[in-house]
Amino acid sequence: MRKKEKIENYTSADLVKLYEENALKMYNALNEYDVKKYNKLYDKNSLIIIELKKRPGDHRRDLLPLLDHTNMGVRFQAANTTFVFAPDKARTVLENIASSRRFPLAGDAGMILSALDDGTGKLD
């Protein structure tokens, strides 16, 4: 996000693009063990999610195409964010990531699925 521009002024399409870019950078930061960078990007995407959610009709739906992204990290983030709209598709994405054995995301996906299955987790 550009510092001077308020998030409210972005179109939903622009926010989806920023979310995708941040998710790609998060995946790279994760693989480089750069926790500080990952956390900063996570916070940016959290603001995007909040903004999309508060728009009429809940524009988090606009992230659904990212469930088919070529990058596993983008798919992982999108599955967590869009689970409420497409639980079957998002679950399949998480199952595929968990079974890929490509850690650490495989472990994260597996833990999310376990929490959903035993009722201790909820993705909203």
What residue segments make up the domains of the chain, in order of their start? 7-118
| Percent share of the chain, pLDDT over 90 | 89
Helix boundaries (H) for 1-124: 12-31, 35-54, 72-82, 87-100, 105-118
Average pLDDT, the chain: 94
* Candidates 3.90.550.10, 3.20.20.70, 3.40.50.2300, 1.25.40.70; CATH matching 7-118: 1.25.40.70
Q: Global pTM?
A: 0.91
Per residue in 25-74, pLDDT (tens digit) is 999 999 999 999 999 999 999 999 999 999 999 999 999 999 999 999 99
Looking at the predicted structure, is the pLDDT value of residue 124 above 80? no
* pLDDT of amino acid 120: 84
* pLDDT of amino acid 123: 74
